[in-house]
Amino acid sequence: MNPLETRGPARILLWTALALALLLYGFPFLHLLLTSFKTPLEAIAVPPNVLPSVWTLENYVSALTRQGVDAALINSVVTALISTALSLVFAVPAAYAITRFRTPSGRVFILAALVTRMVPTIAVGAPLVEVMRNLGLTDTSFGLALAHTTISLPLSIWLMASFFEAVPDELSEAAQVDGCSRLQAMTRVVLPVVSGGLAVTAIFAFLASWNEFLFSLLLTSVRAQTTPVVIANFQSQFGLDWGGMTALAAVYSVPVIILTLFLQRHIVAGLTMGAVKG
């Protein structure tokens, strides 16, 4: 037991504090959910109510049938999936090489990858507009996925390296003694061992693309626009429809929240990795 754990009657006080903190922390999103079930008029009523007086799906119907919303949701999924695949394809071999061969260049590379995380997004995004134009990828999901991969790749390399680090070298050596090639040792023996880590990395890469805004704003206009941009434009485009906005925001956030709550144990490992060991 951790000696910082408190015993005795003080615990009741602590539980109360925790309940209060959770209530404060949970309230914003709860209010969003509750508002999404109000009628569009009640959503902007003065003074606002906490609970809907009539529960209705009106906002969901109106938000999801708005022009371009269905396409944007599909674009978000497609872009995030492509970007996740790209991240893993690039990150897994790189992280494997860095942890297995431990060359100085590997260490420099992983540091350099970390530094790219610190570059202001606009400094990469603005010139990428022209790069994409030259590649003929303007306003395509693939082009946007490439841009999103610049964000998720360094993180993915970093995470995968920490997962590979935990696998003893003997494992792949034994596989090679048994006749596997180096590549087979990685794909057949080491990768299955780190499958949990692979899943975490995939989720982080997916979320990075799913929630990204500035690249989407700069690199897409009509065909490949993703949902965050549509959510941001909701008001200027459709007037003061707060009800519809809350419904769309809920549709966009609830699935990823549920997904991550299911996988929370792995995610916590991913989030704290590096920070604590570093």
Q: Which of residues 39-58 bind other proteins (CB under 8 A)?
A: 44-48, 50
From 61-69, 183-191, 193-201, 256-264, give the range in contact with other proteins by CB under 8 A.
256-264
- Return the residue of 56, 62, 109, 238 that touches other proteins, per CB under 8 A: 109
Q: Which stretch binds other proteins (CB under 8 A): 59-67, 166-174, 185-193, 203-211?
A: 203-211
Q: Which is nearer to other proteins, 77 or 207 (CB)?
A: 207
- Which one among 52, 68, 106, 196 touches other proteins, defined by CB under 8 A? 106
Token pair for 163: 């997962």
209 touching other proteins, by CB under 8 A: no
Tell me whether residue 136 or residue 179 sits nearer to other proteins (CB atom). Answer: 136
| Under rule CB under 8 A, residue 164 binds other proteins | no
- Cβ contacts of 117 within 8 Å, gap of 6 or more: 154, 155
Is residue 114 involved in binding other proteins (CB under 8 A)? yes
Q: How far is the CB of 178 from other proteins (least distance, A)?
A: 26
By CB under 8 A, residue 62 contacts other proteins: no
